[in-house]
Chains A and B, each alone.
Chain A
């Protein structure tokens, strides 16, 4: 029996391409958010409200990731910003190569913020570094207050949490304080925002913070 010792990380290929993406972002001075959540938490709606708020203030581009359709890219394109749709055709997450390929279709020198909206999934995207500056996780009140405890990896790895659909709190079984306590138990460093895309509550706080990352970055 011949034993070959290799000691190689299974994710090394993805991690290497993520490093290349990160170098490219750094070279162009682009701050990159990887937006993750379960399906239907309101990622695209948050993006729309953010783009409305930051219109003309900072150059933003978006990469949309979905299993199927370009519905989200069409919604974002209405804001006249560069947007690329990645369709994974069954794939449950974006990987660094998919993002790398998408970058060919973006005017990198003219971008200050890139937001990558990942496939709606609180499990798999946690394993795939895309080269982003930070992950932002969205949890909506309609999902209940126990999501951080059920999907700890995603909340642990994220830098910020957007609690969305706070206008629905009176109608759903979600204790906002408990949701945030659960999130902070998993990750005490989380920066937390509360938003509603219907009333626009909290959007300005989130959008200002997002824009301020760029100033700190450059």
Chain B
């Protein structure tokens, strides 16, 4: 259950960009979360909501964009989407695949109602 410490990181980062008097105006935090980031979206949302409850940030919500797992194949040189945890090129069956995306865990924007 490392989503709680990750949610705390998100709150800390927001506070680095928003002065205390404007925290109540924060409406949404846009995030990119890769399918292979090891983060469960529902847990992260739950932990975030728990952390900001009864704080000036309480009106903020996470807007999570899930980033699919994509990989390039060293064998057939094609780029494909991979299923979670299956590191095999769907085009040629090779296991020589390199992830191009899917491990993201990033805050993109903070939306403030002002």
A→B interface (CB under 8 Å): 1-11, 13-14, 91-93, 95, 123-124, 126-128, 149, 152-153, 156, 184-188
Query: What's the minimum C-beta distance from A81 to chain B, rounded to whole angstroms?
Result: 30
Bound Cα distance A124, B43 (Å): 13
- In the docked arrangement, what's the CA distance between A152 and B6, Å? 20
**27 A-B contacts (beta carbon < 8 Å):** A1-B111, A1-B112, A1-B113, A2-B113, A2-B114, A3-B109, A3-B110, A4-B17, A4-B18, A4-B110, A4-B111, A4-B112, A6-B108, A7-B108, A10-B107, A11-B6, A11-B105, A13-B12, A14-B9, A92-B1, A95-B5, A127-B2, A127-B39, A128-B2, A152-B84, A184-B95, A186-B85
Which 8 pairs, one residue from A and one from B, show the smallest C-beta to C-beta distance? A152-B85, A124-B2, A2-B112, A4-B110, A10-B105, A127-B38, A188-B95, A10-B9
- Is B6 touching A188 in the complex (CB atoms < 8 A)? no
Q: Does B41 contact A (CB under 8 A)?
A: no
Q: Could you say which of B17, B84, B85, B105 contacts A9, with CB atoms under 8 Å apart?
A: B105
**What range describes how many residues of B lie at the interface?**
20 to 34
The A/B interface has a contact count, at CB < 8 Å, of 83
Whether the Cβ atoms of A153 and B36 lie closer than 8 Å is: yes
Report the bound CA distance from A95 to B105 in whole Å: 16
Given A2-B111, A188-B95, decide whether A10 and B1 contact each other with a Cβ distance below 8 A: no
Interface residues in B56-114 by Cβ distance below 8 A to A read 84-85, 87-88, 95-96, 105-114
Among A9, A10, A13, A91, the one with the most B-chain Cβ atoms within 10 Å of its Cβ is: A10
Interchain nearest-CB distance for B114 vs A (Å): 5
Whole-angstrom distance between the alpha carbons of A10 and B14 in the complex? 10
Q: A154: shortest Cβ distance to chain B, in Å?
A: 9
A10/B109 in contact, CB under 8 A: no
Decide if B38 touches A7 in the complex (CB within 8 Å). no
Residue in chain A with minimal CB distance to B18? A4
Q: What distance in Å separates the Cβ of B72 from its nearest Cβ neighbour in chain A?
A: 15
CB distance from B89 to the nearest CB of A (A): 12
A155 to chain B, nearest CB (A): 9
Residues of A within 8 A of B108 (CB): 5-7
Selected contact of B109 from candidates A5, A14, A149, CB within 8 Å: A5
Q: Are A10 and B6 in contact (CB under 8 A)?
A: yes
Nearest CB of chain A from residue B100's CB, rounded to whole Å:
15
